[in-house]
Chain A
């Protein structure tokens, strides 16, 4: 615990990302420009993703239609759950939607699950290992809006591309300009459409970010209580298991819904 500057400093420190940038992007010695990178978010999310998807790919490569191994069984259970949601909601034909939904659910879940590790545990270990006791390091990538926006914008782009592909440019343009008020009110239709399309990724990413950020915040506040954190951390942790799963599920579910809206005619 690098408790420099008391409680506020502790909280501040825990909510700061490890930033790197070139010297040209620095403003007053701090990386505030666009071309700076949150190293912790990139590393944790990347390593978690590589591990979990590598593991899944390994199990999938050994998948058999006979009696499955326990690992295959578990992966099949998760994948089957997601696939069921896709089947229920998305009625078009697409080789992308199910893998996309699986990726979102699994990745967001494991990233959220980093929240369950006590807030000071990994940062302290890392600080001890590097010898830099002032180094900030956020271990929950989903508390970084960069990540959630990156995901929601990707989903947004995929949904637009899918809309164009499934409906064709003509039909897509017709939908943009002539729905819901008819072609005579084209500008208003376009405006509605833009608001609708922009609201989706923003709400999608901010929902995940807000939930995880707030949860992390509560963990940090509980960690400040000294000995009293012991009876409090456990219930919040248990409750947080719900939030973690729920947020991963909601992100996945909304993605499927957006995909099906993009692929289906109004």
Chain B
């Protein structure tokens, strides 16, 4: 064990290797490691954000679904009510129309009856006259009515 100029040589080696590490080994590795760390942190943050957003979206979609359901049930109820209303209205209108038709028909019938009666009335006089004529024609003979004619003569 003796100390000699090897010391200087070794110090030079040591300095050279420190320089290599300082210049070519550590900075790129440090950069790569720091970058990767940042990337991982970013990735984790993004994942967290994504998870939050997904939760939010799920909530929002559930809300929208519920709203839509409510709206649709509202609409259905409304539609049902409206349908009923329309049916009622139609029923009313139909009734009125039917009444009107019935009334019209009745009036017409009455008119018709009246007309028939009128006609009949006219015909009755004719018929009466015709009948009377027929009867008169058949009944008139001088012998049968001589008495009456005699009486007439006497009155005159």
A149 in contact with B7 (CB, 8 Å): yes
Taking a contact as CB atoms closer than 8 A, the residue among A63, A66, A83, A153 that contacts B11 in the complex is A153
Secondary structure at the A interface, as helix, strand, loop or mixed, is helix
Interface residues of A in 134-149 (CB under 8 A from B): 144-147, 149
Measured CA separation A102–B31 after assembly (Å): 16
Q: Indicate which residue in B5, B17, B31, B36 contacts A107 across the interface (CB closer than 8 Å).
A: B17
Within B1-33, which residues are at the interface with A (CB < 8 Å)?
A: 1-11, 13-18, 20-22, 24-33
A34 contacts across to B, CB distance below 8 A: 3-5
Cα–Cα distance between A72 and B33 once the two chains are bound (Å): 10
Partner of B21, one of A32, A42, A64, A103: A103
Interface size on B, as a range, is: 20 to 34
**Bound complex: CA of A72 vs CA of B29, how far in Å?**
8
Assuming A41-B10, A99-B26, is B18 touching A68 (CB within 8 A)?
Answer: no
Q: List the A side residues contacting B22 at CB < 8 Å.
A: 95-96, 99-100
Asked if A243 lies at the interface with its beta carbon under 8 angstroms from chain B, I say no
A60-B29 contact in complex given A53-B17, A103-B21, A150-B10, C-beta closer than 8 Å: yes
A53 to B21, CA, bound (A): 7
- Chain B at the A interface: mostly helix, strand, loop or mixed? helix
Contact call B25/A146, Cβ cutoff below 8 A: no
Contacts A53-B17, A60-B28, A96-B22 known; A33 to B4 CB distance under 8 Å? Answer: yes
Find chain A residues with CB under 8 A from B8 CB.
150
Q: Give 10 closest A-B pairs by Cβ, nearest first.
A: A65-B35, A150-B10, A146-B6, A99-B22, A57-B24, A63-B32, A99-B21, A38-B6, A150-B11, A60-B28
Chain A contact residues, CB within 8 Å of chain B: 19, 31-38, 41-42, 45-46, 49, 53-54, 56-57, 60-61, 63-66, 68, 72, 75-76, 79-80, 83, 95-96, 98-100, 102-103, 106-107, 144-147, 149-151, 153-154
